[in-house]
A and B are shown apart, each in its own frame.
Chain A
Amino acid sequence: MSKISELSLTKIVNGIKKKDFSSEEVTKSFIDNSKKSKKLNTYITECFDEALKFSKNFDKKKDYKGLLSGVPIAVKDMFCTKNVKTTAGSKILHNFIPTYESTVTNNLWSEGAFLLGKLNCDEFAMGSSNETSFFGNVKNPYGEKLVPGGSSGGSASALAAGLTPATIGTDTGGSIRQPASFTGTVGLKPTYGRCSRWGIVAFASSLDQAGPMTINVEDSALLLQAMSGYDSKDSTSVDKKVENYSSNLTEKIKGLKIGIPKEYRVDKMPTEIDDLWKKGIEYLKDAGAIIKNISLEHTMHALPAYYIVAPAEASSNLARYDGVKYGHRASGKNLIEMYENTRSEGFGNEVKRRILIGTYVLSSGYYDAYYLKAQKVRRLIKNDFDKAFKDVDAILTPSTPGSAFKIGDKSNDPVSMYLNDIFTVPVNLSGLPAISVPAGYDKNNLPLGLQLIGKAFDEQTILNLSLAIEKRANFKKNYKIWWS
């Protein structure tokens, strides 16, 4: 039998149930790997002792009723965890210990999982490379000099390196799917409203959504099922039955219509991305899908619109960090100066840039020109999808315009960094579900992902299509362990 930490989440859950191994053995296996992984810099907070204690208790009680019984899971440090430090990758929250638990993590614990640790991420989830974290950049298992993507970079890296059997991230503009693509893992952003946002550190509330990050599609279905559901504490969560994504999972997708949007063939896109996309089309054809060319004509306007909406909402959300109620506080001669010094010391450069852009576009006299304009563009982008989904069941695109880039390559040029999310952002603006599934490698042996976009609340179809691609692409991780 292979090492426990090499197994999928589903196999671990089943193995514990069948008593092939104990929860304690599973937990020890991931803790061992995690302890040797310092060079990856994935953890902000380790909960290894507590996890081990929990696993021992679990093995005594033997309660296998949950979907995730006996499984340790490390989560992105954007989820508030009761009595465990939650930083959002920021200095301003470096000492924040929530007195409550986020609904999504609580859902995982209700299914029998327990916390292994809190994973590094871009500060307040603002970034595409995990370089904006106050706790230092995370490295990609595929290369010491490579970013893991972002903002859920710590989650993606920890998952790909076998430090946690699965993890959860948040996705505001691609923060689950882009790092999944960069690390050869599966990342799903659910429909807006599928998972509760309660207890997640807020970035841009009309776009934020939590989702599963796993090593395969089967695990994605399982974890999505565990974390989803209506929550009266989040007024934007939707009261809709959670499907049994796992038992409904099938690669029989014959007759499904798949849209290929011509606008996603962008200038300067490497040919290998285009080749990967063509391969994806062949895989789905082979599985019996019908391919249709479609148009999403306002795609090019999605990213500029996003960089109005997201910073505007962020500048409002982050107004709460004032040094009074929680988090970092600097001194000042008076109240205003204390606010200004606290926020200057507490926020990093990218967060400051976004707060300032948000403040500017919402400031007196500019609201109509920017925020209202962006909301109108958002309408046009959503209309494109609505129209397309009259003819097709799902849409296939590349996940990212390239593979993992080098640390430092884009950090001095905000706009070139933003362009990384060109294929993922339209989905957030439209509230739709989308998944990135690993489908191949580029010429440097770095993973590349394909993205499937579904109709609202039709996560099942994109999971099924991903399974069909996964079976055919036969993607295997191929990095050499350099960090331990």
Chain B
Amino acid sequence: MSIDKNTVKHISKLARISLDENKVESLSKDLTSIMKFIESLNKLNTDKTTPLTSIINASLTSRKDEVNDGKIRDQILKNSPEKNDEFFVVPKVIE
């Protein structure tokens, strides 16, 4: 599978990364070579194999449904690039 320039632009849009037009060509080349490498897996028959979704055998433990943190608004806001007293500030979304 080759990742052509239009595909590069499409997935950049999905990933919310803006691209300079002059970077598209080299990215297309790099991603194509990576995908070619990945596609060597197609030679392997996995029809009867169940996917491995977790390498931990144990099932997840449950805990009591109790609040065990919170009330750290100031900490959460501390690193925000733009905020007012209680809120994250972002560019206007609704006109």
Contacts and interface: CB of A to CB of B under 8 A. Distances in A.
A315 B50 CA distance: 24
A374 B41 contact: yes
Interface residues of A, number: 70
Given A329-B81, A360-B3, 11 more contacts: A324-B88, A325-B79, A335-B93, A337-B91, A338-B91, A341-B18, A352-B17, A357-B31, A376-B49, A414-B30, A431-B55
Contacts of B78: 97, 99
Contact of B37 (A307, A325, A326): A307
Nearest to A100: B75
A95 B78 CA distance: 11
B71 interface: no
B79 A305 contact: no
Contact of B91 (A100, A206, A333, A379): A333
A377 B41 contact: yes
Contacts of B35: 357, 360
Contact of A238 (B37, B50, B56, B93): B56
Contacts, number: 155
Interface string B1-39: 001000110011011111100000001001101110111
Interface of B: 3, 7-8, 11-12, 14-19, 27, 30-31, 33-35, 37-41, 44, 46, 49-56, 58, 60-61, 63, 72, 75-76, 78-82, 88, 90-93
A77 to B, nearest CB: 16
Interface of A: 95-97, 99-100, 192-193, 206, 232, 235-236, 238-239, 298, 300-301, 303-305, 307-308, 315, 319, 322-329, 332-341, 343-344, 347, 352-353, 355-357, 359-361, 363, 370, 372-380, 382, 413-415, 418, 430-431
Given A373-B46, A375-B52, A379-B49, A355 B15 contact: yes
A378 B52 contact: yes
A379 B50 contact: yes
Contacts of A382: 52, 55
Contacts of A304: 37-41
B41 A356 contact: no
A413 B50 CA distance: 33
B24 to A, nearest CB: 11
B79 A326 contact: yes
